[in-house]
Amino acid sequence: MTGGGGGAGPARALVVGEALVDVVERPDGSREEIAGGSPANVAVGLARLGRGADLLTWLGPDAHGDLVRTHLEASGVRVLTGDRAPARTSVATARLDPQGVATYDFDLEWDLPASWDEGAGAPLVVHTGSIAAVLQPGGPRVADLLERRRTTSTLTYDPNLRPALMGRPEDVRPLVERLVRTADVVKVSDEDLAWLLPGVAPAEVAEDWARSGPALVVVTHGGEGAFACTDAGARLHVPAPRVRVADTVGAGDSFMAGLVDGLWSAGLLGADRRDALHEIDAATAEHVLARCVRIAALTVSRHGANPPTAAELDDPSVLAAVLADAPDGGPA
């Protein structure tokens, strides 16, 4: 089929965006190749939480593409097959100096196939963000795709900005704001907002964005937790559990997956539930966000983008094992 859904089937999420290989080169000459990309991490997070997750991405027919596909499929993500693909898979190379400081080189290409095999039924939710929403030529096509899916699916968006790749904030801002207006749910980090709208308080941005269209806008504040505001007028802050931090890679992506999963469990996803989502009450939003910060906390307690499974999340001993005796740990 081309692009859309139709018919019945188990509910699934469609994640649209980049999957790539991060190559880490160390001073001793060793190299490590790791599958990454923000939307790919969100898809993995959803699949590990037990959701049907499809990733529409742009992978080449090469060894790097095979590495990414293997990583995604190991967690249960279905990589959608398109009618065309790049000659090679995108790579981000980080070269570490003896002090551990990285310099980056990017070999990135992003576009969308014109058609793909999605299977039966429109997705319950469509998510996008980061490089895929900005980089030409695919970025505008992603925005068009979301707008077409509004009649069938909840739309979620995480800007997850990459200043080194995206140019000037004033050039990126119209693209971000277009997607914010289109989306039902937006998650953004305080670091993203500091770059995109310097000098404006994150809560002020969240409230402005909530008035422009979304039902729910969430701002993450690293180890300080998350702030949210709703179109229905709720304002709330959820603190993050303090954990021993291994690194913060993938924390925001795992939070985003948790946000989609939590709204799914609350019965608030799907175009036919848009009015109910806009009326989400503070207690429901707080319950969803409390779970999100636990998911992010477990992710930062591990090396790399390694989000928890549903079984790990529901096992109190797993979180208890990483809770800080450390004074200043917490998810990013």
The pLDDT > 90 percentage for the chain reads: 79
- Contacts for 18 with CB less than 8 Å, ≥ 6 apart: 37, 38, 39, 40, 57, 58, 90, 108, 110, 130, 131, 132, 135
Give the dihedral sign, CA 303/304/305/309: negative
Has residue 164 got a pLDDT over 90?
no
Top-confidence residue, 165 or 190: 190
What CA dihedral angle connects 203, 256, 10 and 155, to 10 degrees?
40
SS (H, E, C) 61-116: CCHHHHHHHHHHHHCCCEECCECCCCCCCCEEEEEECCCCCEEEEEECCCCCCCCE
Sorted by sequence, the CB contacts under 8 Å of residue 109 that are 6+ apart come out as 58, 86, 88, 90
CATH number of this structure's domain 12-320: 3.40.1190.20
State in Å, rounded, how far the first CA of the chain is from the last one. Answer: 39
Neighbours of 296 (CB within 10 A): 34
* H or E element at residue 237: strand 235-238
pLDDT > 70 fraction of the chain, expressed in percent and rounded: 94
328, pLDDT greater than 60: no
Contact 15, 56 (CB under 8 A): yes
How far apart, in Å, are the Cα atoms of 46 and each of 197, 262, 272, 316?
Answer: 30, 10, 21, 20
Which of 82-86, 253-257, 288-292 has the lowest average pLDDT? Answer: 82-86
How many angstroms separate the CA atoms of 175 and 196, rounded? 11
Neighbour tally for 21: CB within 10 Å: 23
pLDDT of residue 102: 65
Only one residue has tokens 């980049």, namely 18
Kindly tell me if the per-residue pLDDT of 67 is higher than 60: yes
| Res 139: pLDDT | 95
Mean pLDDT of 260-281: 98
Question: Tell me, what amino acid is at 262?
Answer: G
pLDDT band at 5 (very low <50, low <70, confident <90, very high): very low
The rounded distance, in Å, linking the Cα atoms of 33 and 23 is 5
3-state secondary structure (DSSP) of residue 167: coil
